[in-house]
A = this chain, B = another copy of it.
Amino acid sequence: MLEKQKIYENIGEKDIKKILHTLQSTTLLYKNNQSIAYSIGNRNIIGIIEEGNANLIRFDFDGKRTIIEEMSKDDIFSDMFLSTDSSELSVVATTNCKVTFIEYNELIKECTTNNKIAPILLNNLIQVMSRKLIKRNERIELLTRRSIRDKLLHYFELEGKKANSKTFNLNYSYTDLADYLSVDRSAMMRELKNLKDDKLIQDINKKITILY
């Protein structure tokens, strides 16, 4: 399994502080369910989640909510990664969060001034972005499955691979999982029951076991 790439990989504590200072970073705290507003007027701001979890979500005009991406410690988000006219997208804290904001343009500038740390941070940024691309790809692959059954089975397979075991714990609530798979919750529950009846999976209290 691919290791989770970290934005501060290979940079010592002191150097992290130094470069964050050089880049004139800001660190802010957010409470659970709070919307993480950023890039107000600015451009190319990168938010680094230092502590806690947050989701990138979309609210439909009819109030329907869709989780686009879930993020945790060492994950990043940025207006750079979002379409300019996607105003209905927002980052929402799902636990209390600590977020550091840096300006990408400053980081690039530092790379041309013999700063030794900046290129490492830039490389790490690319690694984290690669990982993000992979995650979004996985999501796309999930969503292209044509039935709820296929989506569930594929999701379980992915989780199984991640856990490197046929048994793993669901860290989503069923409500959230339905959102993630973009299907009706009750229809998903019905299909989940079918999968259990067909002895393809076991589900003991959110602990899933793949039986095939």
Question: Complex Cα distance A144/B181, Å?
Answer: 8
Query: Is there an interface contact between B126 and A66, defined as CB atoms closer than 8 Å?
Result: no
The contact string, 1 if C-beta is below 8 Å from chain B, for chain A 86-104, is: 1000000000000000001
Cβ-based interface call for A169 (8 A): no
Question: Is the CB of A29 closer than 8 A to any CB of chain B?
Answer: no
Is B143 in contact with A182, judged by CB distance below 8 angstroms? yes
Closest chain-B Cβ to A83's Cβ sits at a distance in Å of 5
Task: Tell yes or no: A163 within 8 A of B by CB.
Answer: no
Tell me the dominant secondary structure on chain A's binding face.
Answer: helix
Q: How many residues of A contact B (CB 8 A)?
A: 39
A111 interface hit (Cβ, 8 Å): yes
Q: With both chains docked as a complex, state the minimum distance between the C-beta of A114 and any C-beta of chain B, in angstroms.
A: 9
A window 127-145: CB within 8 A of B: 129-130, 132-134, 136-141, 143-144
Q: Which residues of B contact A204 (CB under 8 A)?
A: none
A133 CA / B125 CA spacing, docked (Å): 13
25 pairs, A vs B, C-beta closer than 8 Å: A2-B83, A58-B141, A68-B141, A78-B130, A81-B134, A82-B134, A82-B137, A83-B137, A83-B138, A85-B161, A108-B119, A108-B123, A111-B119, A111-B122, A119-B119, A126-B126, A126-B129, A129-B130, A129-B133, A136-B137, A136-B140, A140-B143, A143-B144, A143-B182, A146-B184
